[in-house]
């Protein structure tokens, strides 16, 4: 599972570490296409990694991108906006494709899938507010079992 963090105040660079050389390749010359689908809203966002590092390619490939909450969205450069009503905090289905060019954001013609998994987007500044559960024991129904 990929863990990602965002804040409400600034840009946060996130990294994906995965082993890709068994399936295909990812380089800065042709950066991979990352497709995320919110499990809550089912909206899909396609973007490219801003930097791909293959220094330890036999162990892992590092891909980075930046989550921006200020509204500036440049998916070809790896600058995306998350944490809003379309792309809320929570779980995402992730698919990483071997891309055909650095100007392609459409996965329909891509044949090599490099990675499929989950992404968990959390906020480093917002905390989840919970309400205390109150039971209503006066409104219970009896269940009778006939033997």
Judge residue 70's burial from the number of C-beta atoms within 10 Å of its C-beta, 0-12 exposed, 13-18 middle, 19 or more buried. Answer: exposed
Q: How many Cβ atoms sit within 10 Å of the Cβ of residue 72?
A: 12
Reply yes or no on domain 2-130 having CATH 2.60.40. Answer: yes
Q: Are strands 2-6 and 113-123 parallel, antiparallel or unpaired?
A: parallel
Distances (CA, A) of 102 to 31, 76, 97, 113: 6, 7, 12, 16
pLDDT reported for residue 19: 84
Per-residue pLDDT tens for 5-28? 887 767 888 998 888 777 777 777
pTM: 0.80
* Residue range 63-118, pLDDT digits in tens: 999 988 777 889 999 999 988 889 988 999 999 999 989 999 999 989 889 999 99
* Sign of the alpha-carbon torsion through 56, 14, 90, 31: negative
Q: Where are the domains of the chain?
A: 2-130
The dihedrals phi and psi of 138, each to the nearest 5 degrees, come to -80, -15
Q: What is the pLDDT of residue 142?
A: 67
Q: How does DSSP assign 1-62, residue by residue? A: -EEEEE-SSS-EEEEEEE--TTT----SSSPPEEEEEETTT--EEEEE-SEEE-TTTTT-EE
């Amino acid at each position: 599972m990929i863990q990602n963090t965002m804040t409400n105040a600034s840009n946060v660079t996130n990294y994906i570490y995965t082993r890709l050389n068994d399936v295909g390749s990812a380089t800065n010359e042709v950066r991979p296409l990352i497709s995320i689908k919110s499990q809550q809203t089912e909206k899909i966002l396609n973007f490219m990694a801003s930097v791909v590092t293959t220094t330890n390619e036999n162990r892992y490939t590092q891909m980075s991108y930046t989550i921006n909450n200020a509204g500036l969205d440049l998916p070809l450069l790896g600058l995306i906006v998350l944490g809003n009503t379309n792309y809320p905090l929570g779980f995402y289905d992730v698919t990483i494709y071997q891309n055909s060019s650095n100007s392609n954001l459409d996965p329909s013609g891509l044949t090599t899938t490099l990675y499929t998994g989950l992404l968990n987007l959390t906020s480093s500044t917002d905390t989840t507010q919970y309400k205390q559960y109150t039971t209503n024991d006066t409104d219970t129904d009896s269940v009778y079992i006939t033997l």
